[in-house]
Homo-oligomer: A and B are copies of this chain.
Protein backbone atom coordinates (compact mmCIF):
# COMPACT_ATOMS: atom_id res chain seq x y z
CA UNK A 1 0.00 0.00 0.00
CA UNK A 2 1.39 3.44 -0.88
CA UNK A 3 1.66 5.98 1.92
CA UNK A 4 -1.10 8.16 0.47
CA UNK A 5 -3.39 5.10 0.29
CA UNK A 6 -2.50 4.28 3.89
CA UNK A 7 -3.26 7.81 5.04
CA UNK A 8 -6.59 7.76 3.22
CA UNK A 9 -7.49 4.41 4.74
CA UNK A 10 -6.57 5.52 8.29
CA UNK A 11 -8.46 8.75 7.81
CA UNK A 12 -11.58 6.97 6.53
CA UNK A 13 -11.40 4.54 9.42
CA UNK A 14 -11.17 7.46 11.87
CA UNK A 15 -14.18 9.23 10.34
CA UNK A 16 -16.12 5.96 10.39
CA UNK A 17 -15.36 5.36 14.10
CA UNK A 18 -16.32 8.93 15.04
CA UNK A 19 -19.53 8.72 13.02
CA UNK A 20 -20.38 5.46 14.81
CA UNK A 21 -19.98 7.17 18.19
CA UNK A 22 -22.02 10.13 16.96
CA UNK A 23 -24.78 7.73 15.82
CA UNK A 24 -24.94 6.27 19.33
CA UNK A 25 -25.60 9.74 20.76
CA UNK A 26 -28.12 10.36 17.98
CA UNK A 27 -29.98 7.24 19.13
CA UNK A 28 -29.99 8.49 22.72
CA UNK A 29 -31.48 11.79 21.56
CA UNK A 30 -34.16 10.01 19.50
CA UNK A 31 -35.15 7.78 22.39
CA UNK A 32 -35.51 10.75 24.69
CA UNK A 33 -37.50 12.66 22.04
CA UNK A 34 -39.94 9.75 21.82
CA UNK A 35 -40.29 9.60 25.59
CA UNK A 36 -41.04 13.29 25.77
CA UNK A 37 -44.76 12.86 26.26
CA UNK A 38 -44.53 9.82 28.46
CA UNK A 39 -41.83 10.20 31.05
CA UNK A 40 -38.53 11.98 31.45
CA UNK A 41 -35.48 10.34 32.92
CA UNK A 42 -33.59 12.96 34.92
CA UNK A 43 -30.25 11.31 34.22
CA UNK A 44 -30.68 11.56 30.47
CA UNK A 45 -29.28 15.07 30.16
CA UNK A 46 -26.23 14.13 32.17
CA UNK A 47 -25.61 11.02 30.08
CA UNK A 48 -25.99 13.01 26.85
CA UNK A 49 -23.65 15.75 28.08
CA UNK A 50 -21.04 13.19 29.11
CA UNK A 51 -21.28 11.38 25.78
CA UNK A 52 -21.04 14.67 23.85
CA UNK A 53 -17.95 15.61 25.86
CA UNK A 54 -16.35 12.22 25.17
CA UNK A 55 -17.04 12.51 21.45
CA UNK A 56 -15.68 16.06 21.29
CA UNK A 57 -12.46 14.87 22.95
CA UNK A 58 -12.17 12.02 20.40
CA UNK A 59 -12.73 14.44 17.52
CA UNK A 60 -10.27 16.96 18.92
CA UNK A 61 -7.68 14.21 19.24
CA UNK A 62 -8.30 12.95 15.67
CA UNK A 63 -7.76 16.51 14.37
CA UNK A 64 -4.55 16.98 16.37
CA UNK A 65 -3.31 13.55 15.22
CA UNK A 66 -3.92 14.76 11.65
CA UNK A 67 -6.31 11.94 10.88
CA UNK A 68 -9.25 14.17 9.99
CA UNK A 69 -9.69 17.81 8.99
CA UNK A 70 -11.11 20.37 11.39
CA UNK A 71 -14.05 20.84 9.03
CA UNK A 72 -14.90 17.13 9.04
CA UNK A 73 -14.74 17.04 12.81
CA UNK A 74 -16.90 20.12 13.18
CA UNK A 75 -19.51 18.73 10.80
CA UNK A 76 -20.08 15.68 13.01
CA UNK A 77 -20.47 17.82 16.14
CA UNK A 78 -22.63 20.56 14.61
CA UNK A 79 -25.28 18.11 13.42
CA UNK A 80 -25.48 16.50 16.85
CA UNK A 81 -25.56 19.83 18.65
CA UNK A 82 -28.49 20.94 16.51
CA UNK A 83 -30.47 17.82 17.42
CA UNK A 84 -29.52 18.19 21.05
CA UNK A 85 -30.72 21.80 21.05
CA UNK A 86 -34.06 20.66 19.59
CA UNK A 87 -34.41 18.09 22.33
CA UNK A 88 -33.67 20.59 25.09
CA UNK A 89 -36.11 23.06 23.56
CA UNK A 90 -38.80 20.38 23.40
CA UNK A 91 -38.06 19.44 27.02
CA UNK A 92 -38.26 23.01 28.27
CA UNK A 93 -41.51 23.80 26.44
CA UNK A 94 -43.16 20.65 27.75
The tally of residues in A whose CB lies under 8 Å from a CB in B reads: 23
Is A58 an interface residue when CB atoms closer than 8 A count as contact? yes
Give how many copies assemble into the complex.
2
Residue in chain B with minimal CB distance to A14: B65
**Residues 28-41 of chain A: 1 if any B CB is under 8 Å from the residue's CB, otherwise 0?**
00000000000000
A61 engages B64 (CB within 8 Å): no
**Consensus secondary structure, chain A interface:** helix
Contact of A54 among B7, B53, B62 (CB under 8 A): B53
A17 engages B53 (CB within 8 Å): no
Is A70 an interface residue when CB atoms closer than 8 A count as contact? no
Is A13 an interface residue when CB atoms closer than 8 A count as contact? yes
